[in-house]
Chain A
Amino acid sequence: MKTSGGNLKLVLSYCILTGLTFLSLFPALWIILSSLKTGNSLYSETFIPREFTFGHYTDLFNKTKYPIWFFNTLKVAVLSTVFGTALLLISSYAISRFRFAGRKTSLKVMLVLQMFPGFMAMIAIFVMLNAMGLLNSHWALILVYSSGSIIANVFVAKGFFDTIPKSLEDAARIDGASHFKVFATVIVPLSTPMLTYASLMIFNGAFIDFIFADLILRTEEQRTLAVGLFKMVSQRNSTEFTMFAAGAVLVALPVTLLFLFLQRYLVDGLTAGANKG
């Protein structure tokens, strides 16, 4: 089968793959190099800067409120993940396992809710919070992210629970375990892949979201990283490009590595999500 045509095709394939790899990594490389560049402008004469500096990273911690933002972000993201995952787990488990009156209706309602543009509710919440003078609170963010995560992930989670054989629970129940005990000792350990996927998605969503956070958070002390970074470059004539680059690297690096590290779970989760409809 080894013809010259076949080899040509192989070489061509490798060329295309190399090109695509370059394209897919280029923005990441560029922003990392920019963050190490001296000066603060977007413009650069060479791709690899002539002088390297970590100054922008130290500036980030000394001259901006980055550490406070970082703490705010962690607080919002961790609490949203905890509440969101807990609510998601129990609701999708109950919907998957129990046949109760109103089950199909709730599934339909959730499907309909998914079809509204997500932040239509957010804007309404903004108007409501504004009218009540409750803006600028992290708890508003946490509550909205947690409730949103149920609707966004319930079908994936339900689909996952549907695949766990019922006999496992029946066995535990014969041994006298209560519903809650069955849930905690049999179901939760079995659902690690889904749990990882869902909590990662919720965490990432809360970590990265800037629209709602930007709406709600009014003072610089309350800002999250995403809002802070967004403000750094979205203003016209912003001159702090390299500092933004440093901030972007610090935010994106952990999340990116986490995603790559947990690839397998993500692939499973995505596939499950795709099969639902």
Chain B
Amino acid sequence: MQSKTIGAVLSLVLMGLGQLYNRQWGKGIVFVAAALVGIYLTVFQLYDHLHGLITLGEQPSGFVKVGKMMKMVEGDHSIFLLIKGLIALVAVLFFLCFYILNIRDAYLVGRLRDEGKSPATFRKSLAALGDKHFAYLVLLPPFIVITFLTILPLIFSILLAFTNFADPILPPANLVDWVGFDNFSKMLNLKVWSSTFVGILTWTLVWAVIATATTYVGGILIAVLIHQPRIRFKKFWRTALIVPFAIPNMISLLVMRNMFNNQFGPINGYLQYFGLKGLPWLTDPFWAKVTVILANMWIGIPITMILAFGVLTTIPRDLYEAADVDGAGARQKFRMITLPMVLFSTSPILIMNFAGNINNFNVIYLLTNGEPVNINYQFAGHTDLLVTWLYKLALNQSQFSFASVIGIVIFFIVASVSIWSYTRTRSYREEDMIQ
């Protein structure tokens, strides 16, 4: 039999055996050791973890009668079981990948021996790792970090949407159960949830459209205004108008929340100074919505302005000269040259901004905190977006499973908008990034 087959089969039986057969002692010993640890853990731990993941615990904490005494017994903690089960699954997956790579390695080295070449020494293998597989080596740390801190928590969140982990069912006193699509159907069919959901979804979409449109149009108009050839001190105007972008928005929003204060804020103060009655900026449902849009314009316009500026400076001068020769007026030049160029180059960011505004947590949370309270809503106010509602549901009301449902809904909205827009951009067709 050929070495490559024997090597592969031996490695299949036990990781590292094939490497030892190929006389790669160092590598073989490391692999065998890893295999023994991995198999030990898989055999003795995996069953418990999977069992826990499926049942989410069988014994709640509580008092159990032992003889004549009531004794506190610590039971299963469903959330713990869920997390551990998930981590165990991911670990097993990693181990399996490694195992398959080990078989492939034994096969390749065996083939090398069949061809009469001597296999690489341990030191050479290590060197090859740094050279041929540099990308993998370098990507390993970010990969691990992302897997455990982003992907695993996200899967955990998504799984929560299919459990009944919501107040009053909170571990360790209660056991959490898998409930399938119950939460989703409650969200659509149960009156208290569905009316809040539809209301907030509508406002979220309206908000995203208005917020995106106002900042986009405003930014381009201001950039064009400054870009006029006869305006002087361009750098000064630009810097002054970038300031809102440079101030950390957490600070400026907290400041604005005070500026718009109905009683003591300076804005109503000035309105009263001019003999106008102040407006209920943050306490009236309609005006609260106006306020968040205004505040968002203040923060968002500079960004579009910067981008539009970038585009404006790249428009070739001779286009305008040609237009002058043809006798075009300023307005015509703007409509036929400037506007199309700017729109063409900046339209991709429109979609990004739209998606960003759907998730614009800070503006709402810091300015109004979703208030004024809407008595018809379940744990939400008039200006709450889906994201802020998600936050309140999870952190203030412990309605974790419903919060996860909202998160999944947001994902589907953002994902469909992004994919729809992505297929329409040049980079989709020309670049090799995503295909």
CB within 8 Å of B: which residues of A?
6, 10, 13-14, 16-17, 20-21, 23-25, 27-28, 30-31, 41-44, 47, 87-88, 90-91, 93-95, 97-98, 100, 103-104, 106-109, 111-113, 115-128, 131-132, 143-144, 146-148, 150-151, 178-180, 204, 207-211, 215, 226, 229-230, 233-234, 241, 244-245, 248, 251-252, 255-256, 259-260, 263, 266-267, 270-271, 274-277
Cross-chain pairs A/B with CB under 8 angstroms, 17 sampled: A13-B225, A14-B231, A24-B243, A24-B298, A28-B252, A30-B266, A90-B141, A90-B142, A103-B135, A106-B143, A123-B400, A126-B395, A144-B149, A146-B145, A179-B131, A259-B242, A277-B352
Are B410 and A100 touching (Cβ within 8 A)? no
* Known pairs A42-B258, A42-B261, A256-B243; A104 contacts B149 (CB<8 A): no
A103–B136 CA distance with the chains assembled, in angstroms: 10
A248's closest neighbor in chain B, by CB? B251
Which DSSP category, helix, strand, loop or mixed, fits chain B's interface? helix
Given A93-B138, A125-B153, 7 more A-B residue pairs with CB atoms under 8 Å apart are A90-B141, A94-B134, A131-B77, A229-B251, A233-B257, A263-B242, A267-B306
Are B411 and A271 touching (Cβ within 8 A)? no
* Known pairs A24-B241, A259-B246; A148 contacts B254 (CB<8 A): no
A108–B418 CA distance with the chains assembled, in angstroms: 12
B353's closest neighbor in chain A, by CB? A274
A261's closest neighbor in chain B, by CB? B246
A-chain residues with CB within 8 Å of residue B135 when the two chains form the complex: 94, 97-98, 100, 103
Are B434 and A107 touching (Cβ within 8 A)? yes
A275–B344 CA distance with the chains assembled, in angstroms: 11
Which of A28, A124, A180, A244 makes the CB contact (< 8 A) with B154? A124
* Known pairs A27-B256, A241-B258, A277-B422; A90 contacts B139 (CB<8 A): yes
B349 at the interface (CB under 8 A from A): yes
Residues 220-264 of chain B: 1 if any A CB is under 8 Å from the residue's CB, otherwise 0?
A: 001001101011000001011111111111111011111101011
Are B230 and A128 touching (Cβ within 8 A)? no
A-chain residues with CB within 8 Å of residue B355 when the two chains form the complex: 115
A-chain residues with CB within 8 Å of residue B261 when the two chains form the complex: 42
B-chain residues with CB within 8 Å of residue A275 when the two chains form the complex: 348, 427
Task: Give the interface size bracket for B toward A.
Answer: 35 or more
Are B243 and A17 touching (Cβ within 8 A)? no
Chain A proximity of B418: nearest CB distance (Å): 6
CB contacts under 8 Å to A, within B374-423, are 387, 390-391, 394-395, 400, 403-404, 407, 410-411, 414-415, 418, 421-422
Are A90 and B351 touching (Cβ within 8 A)? no
A47–B273 CA distance with the chains assembled, in angstroms: 12
Are B243 and A25 touching (Cβ within 8 A)? yes
B98 at the interface (CB under 8 A from A): no
B348's closest neighbor in chain A, by CB? A277
B-chain residues with CB within 8 Å of residue A208 when the two chains form the complex: 248-251
A263–B243 CA distance with the chains assembled, in angstroms: 10
A24–B411 CA distance with the chains assembled, in angstroms: 34
CB within 8 Å of A: which residues of B?
77, 79-80, 83, 130-131, 134-136, 138-139, 141-143, 145-146, 149-151, 153-154, 156-157, 160, 222, 225-226, 228, 230-231, 237, 239-252, 254-259, 261, 263-266, 269, 298, 302-303, 306-307, 309-310, 346, 348-349, 351-352, 355, 359, 361, 365, 369, 387, 390-391, 394-395, 400, 403-404, 407, 410-411, 414-415, 418, 421-422, 425, 427, 433-435
A179–B136 CA distance with the chains assembled, in angstroms: 12
Chain B proximity of A29: nearest CB distance (Å): 10
Nearest 7 A-B pairs (CB), nearest first?
A259-B246, A124-B153, A98-B135, A43-B264, A91-B142, A147-B149, A121-B153
Are A256 and B246 touching (Cβ within 8 A)? yes
Which of A44, A120, A233, A266 makes the CB contact (< 8 A) with B407? A120
Chain A proximity of B330: nearest CB distance (Å): 8
A253–B422 CA distance with the chains assembled, in angstroms: 38
A-chain residues with CB within 8 Å of residue B421 when the two chains form the complex: 277
A13–B126 CA distance with the chains assembled, in angstroms: 67
Are A13 and B142 touching (Cβ within 8 A)? no
A-chain residues with CB within 8 Å of residue B391 when the two chains form the complex: 119, 123, 211
Are B252 and A27 touching (Cβ within 8 A)? yes
Which of A24, A100, A113 makes the CB contact (< 8 A) with B150? A113
B-chain residues with CB within 8 Å of residue A260 when the two chains form the complex: 239, 242-243, 246
B-chain residues with CB within 8 Å of residue A144 when the two chains form the complex: 149
Are A123 and B250 touching (Cβ within 8 A)? no
Are A98 and B134 touching (Cβ within 8 A)? yes
* Known pairs A150-B145, A208-B250; A20 contacts B310 (CB<8 A): no
Chain A proximity of B132: nearest CB distance (Å): 10
Are A117 and B407 touching (Cβ within 8 A)? yes
A127–B170 CA distance with the chains assembled, in angstroms: 12
A-chain residues with CB within 8 Å of residue B230 when the two chains form the complex: 6, 10
A43–B369 CA distance with the chains assembled, in angstroms: 22
Are B427 and A113 touching (Cβ within 8 A)? no
